[in-house]
Chains A and B, each alone.
Chain A
Amino acid sequence: MAESLHALVVEDSPTMRQLICFALRRIRGLDVVEADDGVDGLKKLSGQRFDILITDINMPVMDGLKLVSLVRKDAVHKNIPIVIITTEGANEDRQRAMSLGANAYITKPIQAPQVIACVKELLGMKP
């Protein structure tokens, strides 16, 4: 059996986090770990190797932009695909995140098929 891939979801809103994790857990062979904010995300990234990171931008303690820039400097995770979750009208944040090294973005309200398709594509999985 193939080894599992690991996804880290960093989102402060429990509703959104539950929704994203629910979608991702439907991808066979993908193990999903949750984090409440950027700091919690970094802590989890230092504890294990992840294959993809999905993060919100607006979060308390440490926002998604800071997290993206720190992950891109991390020796282990500098090449990890990053998906950011943005709200409508947050074009500046979205552009900033993309320029910091995010690979894709999903705009709220999110739909499970959209999340699944985006993550599968970045992980090189069959659609």
Chain B
Amino acid sequence: MADDKKYGMQDIGKGEEFLQAFKRGIQFTEQLLEENERLKYQIIRLEEENRAIAQISMSHQAYEELLSKMRLVEEEHHTLMARYQSAEGESKEFKERYEEIEDENNRLANLYIASYQLHSTLDLKEVVRICFEIIINLVGSLDFALFIASESGTLVPVRTQGRALDSLHPVPLGEGVIGRAAKERMLYIRGHKRVASALDDPMVVVPLIVKNELLGMFVIYSFLTHKPAMTDLDRELLNLLAGHAGTAICSARLHLEAARVKFEVDSYLRALNS
């Protein structure tokens, strides 16, 4: 009886052990199933990735096409950049040219206006007034004088701007800067100092020449202080004055003299056909 009990207890112990082992087996199996699920999911994911990769590798031709398109776009970009740079250069060149033309236009306008005004009248007083206007408004001076050559050759001041007439004295031909410029019949421009000058050291001397004869001269003592420097246009205006102002003054003087003489058609014909 005691043995039976002993065996019975042993059987129970074994049964328990078996049950535990079985339970562990179930757990293990469940873990395996979970792992299996995870692996199945991973396989699906990898297959999808694989398909995507396969698709990419399958469109290798498209990839090549894309690459060549990119190259074309890049080439086009370079071409456009080169054209843009060339156009930019051209535009800069046009701008510079335009500015040059503008300057030229302004220069010609000033010369045209000066010339037009000088020959717009035969009134001596008006001609001299226009000469003064040109020097004031176009050249830019408020300090100058007009000298007229006398028969003896002395240069006599006859009209001034910015100075009293009696403050100036007659200048013998060939004497000092003014007299030498008059004798040589050359435009004189002082190359140094812009400050107001002494009577015998003017900024500019403009001999007025008619057919190689000295009629007189404009003597500019100083320029307006805000005038930065003598420009090419100023030189051209002074040269224009040297040539045209002399002619205009001479014409006005002759007109004044001729007004006293009856100048009929026959006189014109004689003068033109002689």
Question: Which A residues form the contact surface with B (CB < 8 A)?
Answer: 13-16, 18-19, 22-23, 26, 87-89, 107-113
CB-based contact A19/B113 at 8 Å:
yes
CA distance A18 to B106 in the complex (A): 12
CA distance A19 to B136 in the complex (A): 13
Give the residue name and chain of the A residue nearest to B112 (CB): A22
Contact partners of B138 in chain A: CB under 8 A: 15, 19, 109
Give the residue name and chain of the A residue nearest to B224 (CB): A88
A-B contact count, CB below 8 Å? 54
Contact partners of B227 in chain A: CB under 8 A: 109
**Stretch touching chain A among B114-122, B173-181, B243-251, B254-262:** B114-122
Within 8 A of A (CB), among B56-75: none
Contact partners of B137 in chain A: CB under 8 A: 13, 15-16, 19, 108-110
Give the residue name and chain of the A residue nearest to B138 (CB): A109
CB-based contact B110/A19 at 8 Å:
yes
Contact partners of A13 in chain B: CB under 8 A: 133, 137
Given contacts A109-B138, A110-B137, A112-B106, contact A14 B120 (CB under 8 A): yes
Question: By CB atoms of chain B within 10 A, which of A16, A19, A22, A109 has the most?
Answer: A109
| Residue B140, interface by CB 8 Å | yes
CB-based contact B142/A87 at 8 Å:
yes
CA distance A113 to B100 in the complex (A): 12
**28 A-B pairs in the complex with CB atoms less than 8 angstroms apart:** A13-B133, A13-B137, A14-B117, A15-B113, A15-B114, A15-B130, A15-B137, A15-B138, A18-B113, A18-B116, A19-B109, A19-B110, A26-B105, A87-B136, A87-B142, A88-B224, A88-B225, A88-B226, A89-B142, A108-B136, A108-B137, A108-B224, A109-B137, A109-B138, A109-B227, A110-B137, A111-B106, A112-B105
Give the residue name and chain of the B residue nearest to A22 (CB): B109
CB distance from B176 to the nearest CB of A (A): 28
CB distance from B146 to the nearest CB of A (A): 16
CB-based contact B224/A109 at 8 Å:
yes
Give the residue name and chain of the A residue nearest to B109 (CB): A22
CA distance A39 to B226 in the complex (A): 31
